[in-house]
Amino acid sequence: MLLPDKKRVLDAVLERMNESWSQMMGAAQRTREGATHAEAKPENEKDTRALEQTYLARGQAARAQEITEQMHVLRFMPLRVYGQDDPIGAGALISLEGDDDTERCLFLSPHGGGTEVQVDDVDILVVTPASSMGRAVLGRVLGDDVELRLRNKQRTYSITAVR
């Protein structure tokens, strides 16, 4: 598998995170407006709908702030070039070949785990060091084999490329 340019991969991840941020901010704004709308006025002392919406809006805004901070970290994350004998770390773009001849491309990142992007017709899964896949490849080098349990199956992957 020919690995795409890491900068373009990072840009695609940031774009996807920005989309999530926009959705979260829109949801927070709509929830806040619903909480302050005239129809949300409590009908009696036990009616807590507006209060609940306020709590929800606050949580959505906090999540949007968290995404903002994560994007900031990724924007300034160094994208070092990994050599054959360099241990895999943050910012590595990794190609894995499975024992069943499947290929996977991973981007090891401190944030954005689970995000999937496509760059140059290559599907890339963002994994964090806290994930099982991230832990499996962290510190490994080109040519190493890693064992993963995915979907209740034990699989072996070889690291075939690192950028």
Task: Profile the chain (163 residues) by mean pLDDT over runs of 10 residues.
Answer: 95 97 88 71 69 82 93 96 94 95 96 97 97 96 92 91 96
Q: Which residues contact 156 (CB under 8 A, 6 or more apart)?
A: 98, 99, 145, 146, 147, 148
Report pLDDT for 163.
94
Report pLDDT for 41.
66
By CB neighbour count within 10 A (0-12 exposed, 13-18 middle, 19+ buried), where does 110 fall? Answer: middle
Report pLDDT for 111.
97
82: number of Cβ within 10 Å? 20
